[in-house]
Amino acid sequence: MNKRNEKLFKAREFAQLTGVTVRALHHYDGLGLLKPSRYSQAGYRLYRESDVARLEQIVALKFIGFSLNEIKRILKGAAVDLATALRRQREAIEQKRARLDLAIKAIQRAEYVVAVNGQSSWELLAKIIGVINMQGNMDWTRKYYSEEARREIEKRAATIPPEVIEQSQRDWAALIKEVEAAVAAKEDPASDRAQALATRWSELIKGFTGGNAEVQRGLNKMYADRNNWPASTPKPFGDQVEAFIVEAMRCAKK
């Protein structure tokens, strides 16, 4: 008999309590995710206390990235196990985060290049980002190039003399090796030698417009195959080399 003093909420009011929209409530209702405990004669949705709790759960689970379907399963109690679900979800999000980190890095490097090269053209930029995507994974880039792609590339390299391609590959390899040496020797990024390296670096990027279509294709084949990449790919140098060059460029242009 305490039915009558139990407060019922209409859609708008209820929605505001939890910070969702009325439309979202409709949506949840439609999905069977959260049905109001009653409907008025006019068809108005009427929610009460217990519904508040449920909605709160939904919002919370949404916040940590579960999809509405997953939430539905979870709230039905059909979830495997709490700890496991949480862990998996966290890992999934951490991966997304890692992906964003990559993008941010790429943009930062692009920003540097633009800053150094002035109003660089968009076409150039694309190449650069291509190179960027390559950089961190140089190790098995070599793998890819040594196995089949290398021959594939040479086979299809009809329009452009292969020595141009191989030259640029050698150029990069040589430069990176020198930078690695500089890093190992703890050379000052502001030093003349480091500056020379930085200059060569941006020269190489610039020169990339010339004969790099084939290289790109090699990379692209590799990228197309990305689902087969091992999960954790070691980076023997990547980060340090990058940091060094970035620092050197900063010293130069500021």
Partner DNA sequence: ATTTGACTCTGACGCAGCGTAAGAGTTTAG
Partner DNA sequence: CTAAACTCTTACGCTGCGTCAGAGTCAAAT
Q: Judged by CB under 8 A, does residue 213 bind a second copy?
A: yes
The single residue among 216, 238, 246, 250 that binds a second copy, judged by CB under 8 A, is 216
Q: Judged by CB under 8 A, does residue 140 bind a second copy?
A: no
Measured distance CA(2)–CA(234) in Å, rounded: 65
CB of 79 to DNA, least distance (A): 16
Total of residues contacting DNA (CB under 7 A): 22
Measured distance CA(239)–CA(108) in Å, rounded: 14
Binding mask 140-179 for DNA (x = CB under 7 A): ----------------------------------------
The single residue among 12, 23, 38, 90 that binds a second copy, judged by CB under 8 A, is 90
Binding mask 107-136 for a second copy (x = CB under 8 A): xx-xx--xx---xx-xx-xxxxxx--x---
In contact, 138 and 237? CB cutoff 8 Å: yes
Binding mask 38-77 for a second copy (x = CB under 8 A): -----------x--xx--xx-xxx-xxx--------xx-x
Q: Roughly what angle, to the nearest 10 degrees, separates helices 49-63 and 68-75?
A: 130
The single residue among 50, 60, 64, 67 that binds DNA, judged by CB under 7 A, is 67
> Scanning residues 4 to 63, which ones bind DNA (CB under 7 A)?
10-13, 20-24, 26-27, 29, 40-45, 62
Of 194, 192, 189, the residue nearest 175 (C-alpha): 194
Interface residues with DNA (CB under 7 A)? 10-13, 20-24, 26-27, 29, 40-45, 62, 67-69
List of residues contacting a second copy (CB under 8 A): 5-7, 16-19, 49, 52-53, 56-57, 59-61, 63-65, 74-75, 77, 79, 82-83, 86-87, 89-90, 93-94, 96-97, 100-101, 103-104, 106-108, 110-111, 114-115, 119-120, 122-123, 125-130, 133, 156, 158-159, 213, 216-217, 220-221, 223-226
